[in-house]
Amino acid sequence: MAHFDIGYRRCLAPDGRPLEALPDLAHDAETLIGLYRAMVRTRTFDAKAVALQRTGRLGTFASSLGQEAVPVGIASAMCAEDVLLPSYREHGAQLWRGVTPLELFLYWGGDERGSDFSGPRQDFPCCVPVGSHAPHAAGVALAFKLRRERRVAVAIFGDGATSKGDVAEALNIAGVWQLPAVFVVTNNQWAISVPRRRQSAAETLAQKAVAAGIPGEQVDGNDVIAVRQAAAAALERARTGGGASLIEAVTYRLADHTTADDASRYRDDAEVSRHWPEEPLIRLRAYLAKIGRWTKDDEERLLAATAAEIDAAASAYLATEPQPPESMFDYTFARLPTDLSGQRAQALAPVPATGPEPMTAR
Amino acid sequence: MVEITLIQAVTLALARAMEEDPRVLVLGEDVGADGGVFRATDGLLARFGAERVLDTPLAEAAIAGLSIGLAAQGFRPVAEIQFTGFIYPAIDQLVNHASRLRTRTRGRITCPMVLRSPSGGGVHAPEHHSESPEAMFAHIPGLRVVIPSSPRRAYGMLLAAIRDADPVVFLEPTRLYRASREDVADDGAGLPLDRCFVLREGTDTTLIAWGGMVREALAAADALAQEGVSAAVIDVATLKPLDAETIVASVGKTGRCVIAQEAPLTGGFAGEIAARLAERGLMTLLAPIERVAGYDTVMPLPRLEHLYLPNAARIAAAALRAMAYA
């Protein structure tokens, strides 16, 4: 009979108190400050994006408010040559890896150039169809394994994605082929309106790893030290031939699903309020203050600098002209087929002003 | 030069591609030791090893998804989906990812992959093994959809598909796998993936077909010749991107056409060809466009299959209907 245990990793209590001897990475205050800055930068980006959307200057946007420790903790443990395959709420990881705020604004503002990352050229763009990028991570990892490269593919998706066949197929293949991949479930408790308890009868989502024959663990997703430590262990295992892992980062979605959503239709404000004290920024800031490495002045300087950077990126985004119409056609194939060139010419031709009046809807 | 079947031409092209380009991999269910259920990958495992011929777990979405990840990383995966009846889980990957990664990233990440699958009926196969879903794929922007109908075209078009910079769905007509033999030179020459093949010139009518229907169209042309009707035969071969020029030019000369497809009538690719002819060749038509297709019913099990599938007689009858117009 098979037995399994799912571990749970947490280093800091919500008030910033260390629960045990902290891992080595936490002994370097500069590392922790770097993680804190990245989480603040992510939250500042989110806030600006929501503000732009609310004023009609950005498309529908998915905020990562309250779960910044997951993308930042994961990405900070990755090497530059690894490949990130994000879902749509991982701007924190993308920013860490060198995707610019301008690129992110462009993407969410409806411009494909936002996914032509100048930084991490091999990272995948956001994946909107939930969980469908998990098999790509297996494919990228297979490429690394076949070329004997010490690189890892990292896919991040949500709790809802664990119900999908794509994710099960990817975990299974990554297990049976011992692929250098790390799969991260950002369990933020809500798949739009469906709470975690209605998503799966499994006690943890990390145990989905058990069926795939790979290690799985839960981690406090609001504790960036724990997330980073778990990611570092999984990445190291993958990099050294130990195969794939699954990390369930348990966090909470403080925001609506997207700017098009109204979470008050399906969850109590009281529930959201209860989770605010556990959010990841407070926790790390409290710890840094406790060890004498973060002051009110530091905080103010960081907020001002981050706001200036994000505001400048937003201005640059708003000043960016849309792409020319031919761009719709010019990336469909490597070479434009003759059959499509006719449609391209049609799209570029001016619509004649004369002729019969256009029909109107009745 | 040797006379080989269409399935052997597929194997020959795969081996050639793997020989000339180390980035080419073959993956799918039972493609390794078994050599594929139709033997398309026969001998490849022994020749190229388990790192280039990968037996995957039984997971069609993942086969397509793995291919996307591999292609994004510079490999040239050629994935086999065992039958088109099992290809539907992979369609999400094709629609949402493979076909649009180039567009989404403005060319930063591309997806040079081939998804091969046996397609069509006529071999008395079990349920879900005989359908012709090509029009679904042709509706997806960013995909090429190729259906060879002879050993030579299978060889040249598969090589071209593997070398192409974008994703290709390569549908192999099951009923033609071993139906005939042809001399195929293993010279590595590809065939264009944006052109129809005019198999026979004619003056009275144009028979337009692809896949398993090409052989029926050729037989119909023979029968029509007995009746004194000269029929041109066009193998569309690449549905997407469509070579409308060749079709419009031929019908412009003959003034009549029959479009034959195995797939159900409604929403089928014959409708697209008919629309192109209506848009660009209406004034050259001497008779209504005839479509000969499967019915809008579920594909019957083998006992009734012959009543469902269009054949040379139905194609010839449609051509004669058209001839009855002035």
Q: Hey, what domains does chain B have and what are their CATH numbers?
A: 2-184 (3.40.50.970), 197-323 (3.40.50.920)
CATH of the domain at A103: 3.40.50.970
Q: What angle do CA A111, A113, A115 make, to 5 degrees?
A: 100
Query: Which entry of A54, A150, A266, A274 is annotated as an active-site residue?
Result: A266
pLDDT at B84: 93
- Quick check: B197 pLDDT over 70? yes
β partners of residue B164: none
Contact B73 A132 (CB under 8 A): no
- Quick check: A153 pLDDT over 80? yes
Per residue in A116-133, pLDDT (tens digit) is 999 999 999 999 999 999
Which residues, including other chains, have CB under 8 Å from residue B63's CB and lie 6 or more apart?
B27, B28, B29, B56, B79, B80, B81, B90
| A74 shares a domain with A51 | yes
Per residue in A36-52, pLDDT (tens digit) is 999 999 999 999 999 99
Query: Which entry of B128, B129, B139, B306 is annotated as an active-site residue?
Result: B129
| Strands across the sheet containing B257-264 | B197-200, B231-235, B205-209, B257-264, B290-294
Q: Which of B93, B105, B164 lies closest to A125 in CB terms? A: B105
Check if the beta carbon of residue A126 is closer than 8 Å to that of residue A258: no
Contact A173 B57 (CB under 8 A): yes
Could you confirm whether B139 is annotated as catalytic? no
Q: Which of B69, B96, B106 lies closest to A139 in CB terms? A: B69
Per residue in B212-227, pLDDT (tens digit) is 999 999 999 999 999 9
Identify the CA nearest to A37 among candidates A111, A114, A95: A95
| A345 shares a domain with A224 | no
* Share of residues in chain B with pLDDT > 70 (%): 99
| A305 shares a domain with A342 | no
Is A361 domain-assigned? no
Q: Which of A123, A145, A333 to mutate to test the interface with B (most CBs of B within 10 A)?
A: A333
| A337 shares a domain with A257 | no
| A334 shares a domain with A190 | no
Contact B107 A116 (CB under 8 A): yes
Is A66 domain-assigned? yes
CA distance B248 to chain A (A): 13
Is A113 domain-assigned? yes
Q: Chains A and B: how many Cβ contacts under 8 Å?
A: 140
- Quick check: A355 pLDDT over 70? no
CA distance A210 to chain B (A): 17
- Quick check: A170 pLDDT over 70? yes
Is A323 domain-assigned? no
Identify whether A324 is preceded by a cis peptide bond (ω within 30 of 0).
no
Check if the beta carbon of residue B27 is closer than 8 Å to that of residue B63: yes
Question: For chain A, what is the domain count?
Answer: 2
Place of tokens 């070579």: B243
For residue A13, the tally of other CB atoms under 10 A from its CB is 15
Contact A339 B109 (CB under 8 A): no
Query: Two tokens at A360?
Result: 């109107």
Per residue in B249-270, pLDDT (tens digit) is 999 999 999 999 999 999 999 9
| A85 shares a domain with A47 | yes
| A136 shares a domain with A31 | yes
| A216 shares a domain with A334 | no
| A249 shares a domain with A347 | no
Q: How far apart are CA A141 and CA B69, in angstroms?
A: 8
Q: Which domain holds residue A341?
A: 329-353
pLDDT at A269: 95
| A346 shares a domain with A229 | no
Is A1 domain-assigned? no
pLDDT at A361: 46
Contact A129 B92 (CB under 8 A): yes
* Share of residues in chain B with pLDDT > 90 (%): 98
Contact A176 B57 (CB under 8 A): yes
For A185-198, b/e burial (b = at least 16 CB within 10 A) is bbbbbbbeeeebee
| A309 shares a domain with A340 | no
Contact B106 A116 (CB under 8 A): yes
Q: Which residue of B has its CA nearest to A146?
A: B51
Q: Which of B69, B110, B144 lies closest to A137 in CB terms? A: B69
Q: How far apart are CA A44 and CA A171, in angstroms?
A: 34
Q: Which residues in chain B are contacts of A143 at CB distance < 8 A?
A: 69-70, 73-75
Radius of gyration of chain B (CA): 19
H or E element that contains B208: strand B205-209
| A337 shares a domain with A194 | no
Q: How far apart are CA A170 and CA B253, in angstroms?
A: 53
Place of tokens 């937003």: A314
Is A20 domain-assigned? yes
Q: Looking at residue B230, what DSSP letter applies?
A: -
